[in-house]
Amino acid sequence: EIVLTQSPGTLSLSPGERATLSCRASQSISSSYVAWYQQKPGQAPRLLIYVASRRATGIPDRFSGSGSGTDFTLTISRLEPEDFAVYYCQQYGSSPKLTFGGGTKVEIK
């Protein structure tokens, strides 16, 4: 079973700062099937990144994804007020077919 571990659990930053979010897989996974989502309170998740590094339609270029193998990263270059939210990574592959990480909350410091 592939487990995705996200760290840190909570990231306390100020607007304008850089955010670096980690997603580590318990075994090597295909970067073709790694995605990142943003979720705000009371809302459904929104796709940010797919294929580990491709931005979804309409996503600002301050969001970027990278990584391969077991280590993947979501970077927000300069936090805007609307970026404070919870972020999830997701993979598709071995059983269970689809898994999500536990999430990283980016909060205002």
Partner 1 sequence: QVQLQESGPGLVKPSETLPLTCTVSGGSVSGVSYYWSWIRQPPGKGLEWIGYIYSSANANYNPSLKSRVTISLDTSKNQFSLRLMSVTAADTAVYYCARLFTSWMFFDSWGQGTLVTVSS
Q: Contact residues for partner 1 (CB under 8 A)?
A: 1, 32-33, 35, 37, 43-47, 50-51, 56, 88, 90, 92, 95-103
> Could you tell me the smallest distance in angstroms from the CB atom of residue 45 to partner 1?
6
Identify which of residues 58 and 81 has a Cβ nearer to partner 1 in the complex: 58
Token representation of residue 1: 């079973």
What is d(CA 59, CA 64) in angstroms, rounded to the nearest whole number? 10
> Could you tell me the smallest distance in angstroms from the CB atom of residue 14 to partner 1?
25
> Could you tell me the smallest distance in angstroms from the CB atom of residue 57 to partner 1?
9
> Judging by DSSP bridges, how do beta strands 86-92 and 104-108 pair with one another?
antiparallel
> Judging by DSSP bridges, how do beta strands 104-108 and 10-13 pair with one another?
parallel
